[in-house]
Structure 1
Amino acid sequence: MLPSSSSHQQSPGMDSRPLTAIPTPLAVAIADREKLGQNEAIHVAQEASRDQKYSVFSQVMRKYLTYLLGLILTLSTLTATIYFPLIPMLSAELGVSIQAINLTVTVYVVVQAASPAFFASLADAVGRRPVLLGLIALYTVATLGLILSFTFSTGRNGYNALVALRALQSLGGSTMPPLAYGLTYDIVPVAERGSMLGPMLAFCNGISAVGPMIGGGIALGTGGVLWVWVALLVVAAVCLLLTGFTLPETARNVVGNGSLPASGVWRTWVSLPKASKDGEDRGSDTPQSQAQASQDYLSQKPVLEWQPLQALDSFRIIFYPEAAAVLWMIASSYSVYYTFQVAIPVVFSEVYEYNELQIGLVLLPGLAGMTLGGILAGKLLDRNFATIARKLNLDISSKTAHASSHFPLEVARYRGCEWFLLFMAACVVGYGWAVKLHVHAAVPIVLQFFICAASTLLSHTASALLVDTFAERPSTTYASAQIARCGLSALSSALLQPLVEAIVSRTKGVGWRQRRREHIRANDSL
């Protein structure tokens, strides 16, 4: 169940009302939301009273974790993008239809939407490191299984193994984004989170952008898909080793602000060298006062005990009134990007008569736009927060800067984004008219770049706002965003082909226009 508390503590100078107070019209509808926020209020007040650092992890360690998490995230994104060019070859190798191979994509997406709810809540309760390490190990075993399957199995047995092992791959990789968001919120204060989220997501998206080229190139070069699985196994093994040896536990209910020593499965396989002398890094060099403060904080903080029913918390968040609008922005903006990626093969093959290689190249501008959107989102998050804090004469380095009920967190996160929303809508309309009028292919390709950049920026900034709103359980909260965006994306992609068949110009033109022309010709012949 979601955490709750029966008392509030406040810092000097803060608003006299409870930190989690909600306007009366919403109080009944979001009673559970208040419980979720009380522990975060206690957390902010207790740390502020001691003037304790938010995190003792150094800037060097933050930078390293940024790119390590970006690499780990590729296990989720690269696994999906590398697969699309393999569909015809998989159909031929296994002797099944294209529709049967598409079913493996559906299974992957279903598991991708559902699994984070379970593992994200587990990570919020027991810690990030053991859950992340276990999931990477599961992904590695599933990928090894695919290699063995394509080496020794053929026909229907090979297809059944593909369905099962792709589901296990999705189970292992799909929870990486919620865990990465949770780790970011563990070690970076609210005013600086964009500086970590932006590069992390851009690094991941940049690698995933070349996924179709990697998958298609390896398959064409080797004459089969076996070596594609080998490439994924290498990436998974590297992530497993780096996580095991270097990724520290960061969950604040386990190690506080990082100053408490970890033990058992929460401890890295080797002790990392300290990067500073002033106690910024965690470990034996951390000042005793920091460790004692964290110990005192954990002794007062309610223990987060995990129960299987907590897997439903991600679904419950979807129905909170203050989460609904944010989730809609996350899901709708992401589904715009996803739908365009799915539509490109249809549009450019039927309207512009591109071949498979040309279609693969056409995908790259959109993926490049996605990478740029991630970078811009990170910078925009930090700049907007700093701007609002300055207007309110607040110190952005203070952990209580956003704790007051008067702080406009929504404005601080989404300020100016309405212009990006309007820009994206205009580009989508322009894309439709460009395809309808058969203008030069460069026009829809350029528009695709801007659409994907804007949709990614909107999705990432809304995700940051959502996790800030439900800050006590960051991984669980982001899992709700993944449920929403995967669900809407699956729906939009399912509706895409019928819409294309009804609207997009085909060899005989748009259906209603063709029928009108036939009617005119019939009247002329009379």
Structure 2
Amino acid sequence: MFVENETNEKSEARSNTNAVPEPYSIFDKRQKALIVFIAATAATFSGFASNIYFPSLATISEDLGVSVELVNLTITSYLIFQGLAPSIWGPLSDAKGRRITYFCTFLVFLGACVGLALTPNYATLIVLRSVQSSGSASTIAVGSAVIGDITTREERGGYMGIFQAGLLAPAAVGPVIGGALANALGWRAVFWFLAIYCGAFLVVLIISLPETLRTIVGNGSASPSNPIARYPLTLYQRTTKIKFSPQAQPVQAAKKATIDIAGPIRILFSKQAAPVVIFAAIYYAVWQMSITAVSVLFSERYGLSETQIGLTFIANGAGSVIGTLITGRILDADYRRVKVKHEAEASQSGSETETEQSSQPEHDDVNFPLETARLRLLPLLALLQCVSIVTFGWTIQYHVHIAVPIVTTFITGWMVVSIVSVITTYLIDVFPQHKAASSATVNLARCLLAAGGTSIVTPIIGSVGVGWTFTIAVAAQLVALVGLAIQWRFGGKWRVEAEEAKVGAAQSKE
């Protein structure tokens, strides 16, 4: 998508040593903060639509006259479409723009919420939950792509941490709001709340979010021709743009891409992504199994009400938010440390001059040890999650004081969202031309596995008990570490091979 533009910019920079380098993004810190805030708020809808629902499972079961297992299938259907929908919306976002994709997804979500608030039976409930998921889930992929549009690798980890914190905040407050609304006004009030929240935010998004897709606006300096890509606060945007030298010409948008719906599937099955994506998906699925089981287990074994169950989710949500913020900062620090070391080694070897290094786009250097810079934390995060999950299962099995399993949900939330955040950031670095599609790939794998896990967790608990259920889950997590090891060992080599193949294909066309 960007090959021609990047090659031209690179050759121009080398031929004219006096040329002023154009910034990767023209937005300053204030403007980036606004964009990240909007993207993070948009992402809250996915978490709210999922987590706000958990305390009401037993009540919905009684009201609609179906079993808890059938109500749990609405979680399964939600997760299935949460995985599938971004595979459509993500490529649309990469081709047509972030703003129009956001607008379409929120219209779908709004309509589904109104329908759910009025749903008369279980069949309507499960269908509209799937539609609702199709609208809300894509905010994660599109939001991740927006962050990738406006940030360099060096700062991306921190901004992704902030974005993930917004995405995961509903894990803390969503169940509390849901439990309170269900107790006071009934479970349908949960969906009226989401409909009102969506309508109000959609107005804010249309007014405040600029188009960031680099094939449309370049680094932000190109003016979009499509009226939908424009937004009302252009005057404010101009006051917050980075001031650059008159010698530097605005970066023009690259040739527009076509919608590639198969893109996320190809990324998922590529050797550059498959091992680490499967690793993340298994850890995410086990987490979803644990929080799905919490509502019923805490109700049956500890006698908690809907409101009390909602309060227990605060620990999980707090761990998720705190963990991703801290992990984002560590990612940035790791990247800077590895970058300094890599540049020093390159300088000593004489493979590149300082001028050539400084003029290269951030993703040109395929020899950069990206796996070292991004994946170093994952083994520790994975092992800590394993410990917390197995502790969660056996403490509930033996009816240990409820404070202990609640603390384990804090640890699990911290670890798993950090794992997903790290891998999402890594894939955006590996596939810079397909940011939304690479994020959709993570969604696809983790949500489909989670859908399977949540559909079987209750029957397994009924057969072998809570302790053994989550012991088996941890065994699967330990096996998944093999995927991480493969990525660490061969990821750099595979990236080099993919770049060489791309260059060879481009030369053969010429």
TM-score computed with the length of structure 2 as normaliser = 0.80
- The Cα shift of 1:92 comes to 4.2
Please give the residue correspondences for 1:159-170 in structure 2 after superposition, counting only pairs within 5 Å: 159-170=122-133
In structure 2, list runs of 5 or more residues that go unmatched.
345-353, 468-510
Indicate the residue corresponding to 2:367 in structure 1. 406
- Aligned partners of 1:329 and 1:462 also within 8 Å: no
Which of the numbers 266, 270, 273 marks the counterpart of 2:229?
266
2 CA distance for matches of 1:129 and 1:495? Answer: 38
Residue identity in the other structure for 1:245: I
Please say if residues 152 and 362 of structure 2, whose CA atoms lie closer than 8 Å, have aligned partners that are also in contact. Answer: no
Using the alignment, how far apart are the partners of 2:116 and 2:165 within structure 1? Answer: 29
Farther-moved stretch of structure 1 (313-322 vs 101-110) = 101-110
Structure 1 residue aligned with 2:196: 234
How many equivalent residue pairs?
A: 451
Q: Hey, what's the Cα distance between the residues in 2 that align with 1:348 and 1:294?
A: 56
Greater relative contact order (CA < 8 Å, ≥ 6 in sequence) = 2
Q: In the TM superposition, what are the counterparts of 1:350-499 in structure 2 within 5 Å?
A: 350-352=300-302, 354-393=304-343, 400-499=361-460
Q: CA deviation at 1:250?
A: 0.5
Question: Between Structure 1 and Structure 2, whose CA radius of gyration is higher?
Answer: 1
Q: Is 1:188 the equivalent of 2:151?
A: yes
The 2-side partners of 1:80 and 1:436 are apart by: 26
- The aligned amino acid for 1:54 is Y
Supply the AA of the counterpart residue of 1:460: S
Query: 1:40-439 maps to which residues of 2 (within 5 A)?
Result: 42=7, 45=10, 51-147=21-117, 149-150=118-119, 154=120, 156=121, 159-222=122-185, 224-263=186-225, 264-274=227-237, 276=239, 279-280=241-242, 292-295=249-252, 298=253, 301-306=254-259, 310-352=260-302, 354-393=304-343, 400-439=361-400
The 3 A distance-change label for structure 1 pair 98 and 472 is same
Contact 2:55-2:309 at 8 Å conserved across structures: no
Mapped partners of 1:501, 1:485: distance in 2: 25
1:213 and 1:48 map into 2 onto residues whose CA distance is 55
Deviating more after overlay: 104-113 vs 407-416: 104-113
Letter matched to residue 283 of structure 2:
S
Contact 1:189/1:399 (8 A) holds in 2 = no
Which amino acid is the alignment partner of residue 303 of structure 1?
Answer: K
Contact 1:40 1:472 in 2 (8 A): no
Secondary structure of residue in 2 paired with 1:280: coil
Q: Answer 1 or 2: which has greater helix percent.
A: 2
Per-residue deviation, residues 101-120 of structure 1 (Å, max 9, x unmatched): 33433332222111111111
- Tell me, in whole angstroms, the C-alpha distance in 2 between the residues paired with 1:141 and 1:267: 25
The unaligned stretches of length 5 or more in structure 1 are 6-37, 507-526
Please say if residues 146 and 229 of structure 1, whose CA atoms lie closer than 8 Å, have aligned partners that are also in contact.
yes
Paired with 1:303 and 1:337, the residues of 2 have a C-alpha distance of 39
- Counterpart CA distance in 1 for 2:59 and 2:11 is 58
1:206: how far off?
A: 1.7
Following superposition, the deviation at residue 205 of structure 1 comes to 1.5
**Partners of 2:80 and 2:12 in 1: CA distance:** 40
Q: Offset of 1:348 from its aligned partner?
A: 3.5
Distance 1:217 1:258 in 2: 43
Cα distance, 1:93 vs. partner? 4.0
Query: Which one-letter code corresponds to 1:67 in the other structure?
Result: F
CA contact (8 A) 2:316 2:409 kept: yes
Q: Which stretch shifts more, 173-182 or 88-97?
A: 88-97
Identical aligned residues as a percent: 30
What SS is found at the alignment partner of 1:318? helix
Q: Is the 8 A contact 1:44 1:403 kept in 2?
A: no
